[in-house]
Amino acid sequence: MKEIGEQILKESDVAIIGGGAAGCLAAIAAKEAWPEAEVAIVEKASIRRGGSIACGMDAINVVVVPELSRVEDLVRAQMSAAQGILDPSVVRAVGEESFGVLKDLESWGVEFPHDERGQYQIFRQWTARDTAAAVTSISMAGELKVILEREVAKRGVRRIEHAPVTAVFAVDGRVAGLSALHIRQEKFLVLPAKTVILAAGSAARFGLPETGVLHAVFDCPACAGDGYSLGYRAGAELVNMECVKHYFTVRFFNGPGLAPLSHGSRLVNALGQAFLEKGSGGLELNNYMDLFSAVLREYREGRGPVYIDTRPLSREMVEELERCFFTTERPTFKKFFNAWGLKIGRDLIEANLSEAVLCGGHGINGLKVNARAETNVTGLYAAGDVAANATSLMGAFVLGRIAGREAARLARQIGFAALVAEEVEAERNRVMAPLLRADGIPPALLERKLRQTVNQYVDNPKSGPKLRAAETRLARLRHEVSRLKAADFHDAMKAVEVQAILDCADMVVAASLERKESRWGIYHFRVDYPERNDEQWRKFVVVKKDVASRPAVSTQPVMGG
């Protein structure tokens, strides 16, 4: 039998899973709250370049700027966008600390452009039109991720990189530590920890994109739903898993497509007809759902492709968009535009909806947390896209900061819970099995089959019979896990990721079956219950692992909504 190294790492007071926006702010806050604490970030990729920030970022979507916007307006806007199914106390917490975080970022060197009057350069998103300046975007520049990494390093945070976490161990409902696979050192790591902060991002690799390329997804492809699965397996509650999200993207590149619309472009179909316009022009949308439904309708009814018509834009606006797309958003955008011979302001840009995705920051699904970023598992916190919060990058920053502070406070008061040797051994066997198998199926193949299944059976439109067929199909795919063969440690990570995507699919199916209504436009549409029913369903559908390791579903009221 091939020898595989194992290493028990030095204990951590606070162990953070993921070194993205939320993870970095959590580490900084934990060290500031308790400078002597042993704080570690365990990151699948690298802290310097990993996570969604590196995928594209033009603005901080949510900031409550004193004298310009109010926390209450933010709460109202986000609750309205979530159609009432969100914890308002979490949104409030984000709103209250948002400006403080912005100031911290500035003090670290992140630049926020100002206008000629010396005010922050802001713009209002569509969702904020009816709520004054509640959701205020502030554009930014600079090497955000590089700056965050520097601040983390300055504070003496331990970094364990290229090491995907595979399990969070909880003993009697309390966190005891985690395990990870060190891809480069080819080792199975065990890290005892008093508290764990889950900041592992969204489930970007949920549906298969129309290009068929596994990693060419809108959200950060390193985030395969690991965070949802890690929390679920540790006994945490997740909410809104039935809300299956899509983005509006530049087709085939799969990059963000909303910015040109926010800046005054119009949408046209293949017949050159503008759709979604009212009166003399400009988009009149209550929220993104109208846009997404309309785009789908044009494709389904044979009027596709759909194009973003940037020709009405002024020269200044074209320059602004090019700056945004080609620098802070995604530098590879420029390569794509050049390769396809496209020019903003001159050409129609083909657009479509992205693959299905689960995301707690841009969307509303994920671990259920309170305003202290606590989950129902003692010592387990969640922040960023892995947690249900709907407040994008600022939500990740603020919840990360709160989680770091709270975890440090708890860790100071408690001792270490003992890891259960059998559980650690079982996890080691699960993770290593594909490496030890003589032959079998490559993880990428199973992932393709699984994500195709998500497109065909799990994504909208949904119905009871279709979702039950999904259950059968997913169970068959789960059998194939025992045949996975990993060529190397990188492949072994992919085998773990496939299992995380499977967990996500199981949770989505269970929650979708439970919510017997339609809600959130195309995000949860049941043909057998086509109407929204606030009287019965204005509540959370909660998913939690049962004793048979299957998703158990219950409902909980939305408090204070």
Q: How far apart are CA 119 and CA 113, in angstroms?
A: 9
In this complex, which beta carbon is closest to ligand FAD, that of residue 201 or of residue 521? 201
In this complex, which beta carbon is closest to ligand FAD, that of residue 57 or of residue 411? 57
3-state secondary structure of 284: coil
Residue in 559, 512, 508 with CA at minimum distance from that of residue 84: 559
Using CB under 6 A as the binding rule, the residues of this chain from 129 to 148 that contact ligand FAD are none
55 binds ligand FAD (CB under 6 A): yes
19 binds ligand FAD (CB under 6 A): yes
256 binds ligand FAD (CB under 6 A): yes
260 binds ligand FAD (CB under 6 A): no
503 binds ligand FAD (CB under 6 A): no
Q: Which two tokens stand for residue 554?
A: 């219950």
* Sole window of 97-105, 309-317, 385-393, 517-525 interacting with ligand FAD (rule: CB under 6 A): 385-393
Residue from 245, 362, 368, 494 touching ligand FAD (CB under 6 A): that is 362
Distances (CA, A) of 196 to 84, 165, 177, 387: 29, 11, 7, 14
In this complex, which beta carbon is closest to ligand FAD, that of residue 298 or of residue 427? 427
393 binds ligand FAD (CB under 6 A): yes
502 binds ligand FAD (CB under 6 A): no
In this complex, which beta carbon is closest to ligand FAD, that of residue 95 or of residue 361? 361
Q: 123's torsion region: left (phi>0), alpha (psi -120 to 50) or beta?
A: beta
Per-residue x/- mask for ligand FAD, residues 174 to 203, rule CB under 6 A? -------------------------xxx--
Distances (CA, A) of 551 to 32, 344, 377, 501, 554: 38, 47, 16, 14, 10
385 binds ligand FAD (CB under 6 A): yes
Buried/exposed code over 360-380 (b: 16+ C-beta within 10 A; e: otherwise): bbbbbbbbbbebbbbbbbebb
In this complex, which beta carbon is closest to ligand FAD, that of residue 56 or of residue 209? 56
* Sole window of 76-84, 291-299, 331-339, 384-392 interacting with ligand FAD (rule: CB under 6 A): 384-392
20 binds ligand FAD (CB under 6 A): yes
95 binds ligand FAD (CB under 6 A): no
97 binds ligand FAD (CB under 6 A): no
In this complex, which beta carbon is closest to ligand FAD, that of residue 33 or of residue 387? 387
In this complex, which beta carbon is closest to ligand FAD, that of residue 231 or of residue 361? 361
250 binds ligand FAD (CB under 6 A): no
23 binds ligand FAD (CB under 6 A): yes
Residue from 384, 404, 443, 521 touching ligand FAD (CB under 6 A): that is 384
In this complex, which beta carbon is closest to ligand FAD, that of residue 105 or of residue 386? 386
Q: How far apart are CA 358 and CA 28, in angstroms?
A: 27
Residue from 12, 52, 453, 460 touching ligand FAD (CB under 6 A): that is 52
Number of chain residues interacting with ligand FAD (CB under 6 A)? 43
CB of 363 to ligand FAD, least distance (A): 10
Residue 67, classified by CB atoms within 10 Å of its CB into exposed (0-12), middle (13-18) or buried (19+), is exposed
Q: How far apart are CA 330 and CA 324, in angstroms?
A: 8
434 binds ligand FAD (CB under 6 A): no
Quick one: DSSP state of residue 520?
T
Residue from 128, 238, 377, 396 touching ligand FAD (CB under 6 A): that is 396
404 binds ligand FAD (CB under 6 A): no
CB of 226 to ligand FAD, least distance (A): 3
* Sole window of 315-323, 389-397, 425-433, 501-509 interacting with ligand FAD (rule: CB under 6 A): 389-397
Tokens 């650690």 sit at which residue?
A: 424
Using CB under 6 A as the binding rule, the residues of this chain from 70 to 89 that contact ligand FAD are none
CB of 426 to ligand FAD, least distance (A): 18
53 binds ligand FAD (CB under 6 A): yes
Buried/exposed code over 248-280 (b: 16+ C-beta within 10 A; e: otherwise): bbbbbbbbbbbbbbbbebbbbbeeeeebbeeee
In this complex, which beta carbon is closest to ligand FAD, that of residue 385 or of residue 506? 385
Q: Which two tokens stand for residue 297?
A: 């309708």
Beta strands in 183-247 (DSSP E): 187-198, 238-239
Residue in 281, 170, 182 with CA at minimum distance from that of residue 230: 170
* Sole window of 21-29, 348-356, 453-461, 537-545 interacting with ligand FAD (rule: CB under 6 A): 21-29
168 binds ligand FAD (CB under 6 A): no
484 binds ligand FAD (CB under 6 A): no
Q: Which two tokens stand for residue 431?
A: 């993770």
Q: How far apart are CA 422 and CA 333, in angstroms?
A: 49
Q: How far apart are CA 523 and CA 27, in angstroms?
A: 34
Residue 440, classified by CB atoms within 10 Å of its CB into exposed (0-12), middle (13-18) or buried (19+), is middle
Beta strands in 187-261 (DSSP E): 187-198, 238-239, 248-250, 255-256
45 binds ligand FAD (CB under 6 A): yes
Backbone angles phi, psi at 488, to 5 degrees: -155, -175
In this complex, which beta carbon is closest to ligand FAD, that of residue 181 or of residue 411? 181
Distances (CA, A) of 239 to 16, 313, 396: 22, 41, 17
The three-point CA angle 66-69-74 to 5° equals 125
- Encode 84-146 in three state secondary structure: CCCCHHHHHHHHHHHHHHHHHHHHHCCECCECCCCCECEEECHHHHHHCCCCEEEECECCHHH
List residues binding ligand FAD (CB under 6 A): 17-23, 42-45, 50-53, 55-61, 164-165, 199-201, 218-220, 222-223, 226, 256, 361-362, 384-386, 392-394, 396
